[in-house]
Structure 1
Amino acid sequence: MAFLIISLIIMLIGLLRLKINKRSIIGGIFLASGLILSLASLFFELLNLIYLYLPSGDFATLIIAYGILPLIFLLVCGYFIFNSKTMRTKEGKSATAKLSALFGLNLLIAFPALFMLFTFSTKTIPQIIWYILLYILLIDIILCFLFAAYILYSWMSQMIPLQKKIDYIIILGSGVRSEEVPPLLKSRLDKGIEYYQKNPTAKFVVSGGQGADEPVSEAFAMRKYLHSQNIPNHQILFEDKFTTTYENMLFSKRIINEDWSDKEMPPSIIFSTNNYHVLRGSLYAQRVKLKAQGVGGTHSTLFLTYGLNS
């Protein structure tokens, strides 16, 4: 029960932080971490009640108390490992397509390794090696937990759609292999189009330069896709010189400021990226003093490293 109370306090700290600053990644991680820990605490409390009230040594008790948790753990690891096949289908043989499997394998190795380490005493293996292994495994598990909390809050933050009038829709770029947009980038564009259909006077800002291994700029491929979806050219603002999320935000802000006619009233702006990337994009928007809210397109998995598309 004490662990549950601590978890709820962590959630409360996150909520208070988000009330002060809705873009706070720290607040979001605290909120999601508290939620995860609260659910885990309730799960263990349930197991404890089952263990107390079912006959000791009963087969059903053993299965529930000692079988459910490992089974859930294996199912989670299996989901991430086999989900990489879906990602390869949608994204091709890229590094990002392998990350889901790597995450699942990491969990599958790290947790059993930590339990095995505790079965060995410092007399079995040298003390310094025991402590080094313990430190490495704990850091690995903590980082996995924090990233899971980040992903969970990214998903939570996208559950409520924006209802306000929108003047500009920034589409953040990602890698292209041809003039056609890949599924990852298409999901960002489709999310932007979803909001455009509710705000037909809004303008798109397609943002993304041409990498050394790309046949055209990301912005060019996005504009071509928007044309195919019957978006008129005069409602597409084009920026194809810069390649990082920070530069995209900075120069999209300049383009919007030059295009916006009502200088007394600030425009309403959103940026469209993928759900795992929204919080990171919000931090860059904050850095360049761009008042924009992020919306996330769906992807084959909620897990994907957010740094590869920066």
Structure 2
Amino acid sequence: MTCAFILGAAVWPGGRPSPTLERRSLHAAQMYHAGRVSRIMCCGGLGRNAPSEADVMVEILTGAGVPRTAILIEDRSTTTRENIAFGLERLGMSDEIVLVTDGYHAPRARAIARSLGIRCTSDSPAHKARPRTILRESGAWLKFLWQRMRGI
């Protein structure tokens, strides 16, 4: 069985999904309907705005016709590392994992998974990275590399 892990993104005021959260969730729904994954793990805790990222993902997925029985929830994480680690705790190690995230984020997400001893692939919805996202991701890469050097 293959499980898609939707990596978290912001929830906006009023519980609305950010465009990133909506894009990732709808992409996972398409993967499910195409038969590429049999389950979907919604990863993401409570950020600045309620509800949790995972809860908003569930709403999007069920609205897109994904049965609730195919959806798993990990709603404690606040970082990419936690998305993957806590999702794995919930899932166990029996499934193949596909990380669903944006293309600019996918290489770091796969590197984090590898640092946790997980081999996985990633799949990204179509999205044009903006300078802001590239700068933010560059800083996140530096933090990841620094933590790896320190053994964290």
**Bigger share in strand:** 2
User: 1:97-116: per-residue Cα shift (whole Å, max 9, x none)?
Assistant: xxxxxxxxxxxxxxxxxxxx
Pairing 1:255–2:90 present:
yes
| Structure 1 equivalent of residue 21 of structure 2 | 185
User: 1:41-82: per-residue Cα shift (whole Å, max 9, x none)?
Assistant: xxxxxxxxxxxxxxxxxxxxxxxxxxxxxxxxxxxxxxxxxx
Give the aligned residue type for 1:210: L
Distance 1:239 1:222 in 2: 11
Give the aligned residue type for 1:228: G
- On the 8 A contact 2:24/2:125 being kept in 1, the answer is yes
Identity of aligned residues (%): 26
| Structure 1 equivalent of residue 150 of structure 2 | none
Aligned residues: 136
| Structure 2 equivalent of residue 269 of structure 1 | 97
Pick closer, same or farther for the CA change 1:195–1:201 going to 2, 3 Å: closer
- Secondary structure of the structure 1 residue equivalent to 2:78: coil
| Structure 1 equivalent of residue 35 of structure 2 | 199
- Secondary structure of the structure 1 residue equivalent to 2:60: helix
- On the 8 A contact 2:26/2:61 being kept in 1, the answer is no
- Secondary structure of the structure 1 residue equivalent to 2:11: coil
Greater relative contact order (CA < 8 Å, ≥ 6 in sequence) = 2
- On the 8 A contact 2:27/2:125 being kept in 1, the answer is yes
Give the aligned residue type for 1:284: I
- On the 8 A contact 1:253/1:290 being kept in 2, the answer is no
- On the 8 A contact 2:76/2:86 being kept in 1, the answer is no
Give the deviation of 1:200 after TM superposition. 6.9
- Secondary structure of the structure 2 residue equivalent to 1:301: coil
| Structure 2 equivalent of residue 170 of structure 1 | 5
TM-score by length of 2: 0.80
Give the aligned residue type for 1:222: M
* 1:109-258 to 2 correspondences below 5 Å: 167-177=2-12, 178-199=14-35, 202-211=38-47, 213-257=48-92
| Structure 2 equivalent of residue 281 of structure 1 | 109
Distance 1:270 1:289 in 2: 15
Specify the structure having the higher radius of gyration (Cα): 1
**Bigger share in helix:** 1
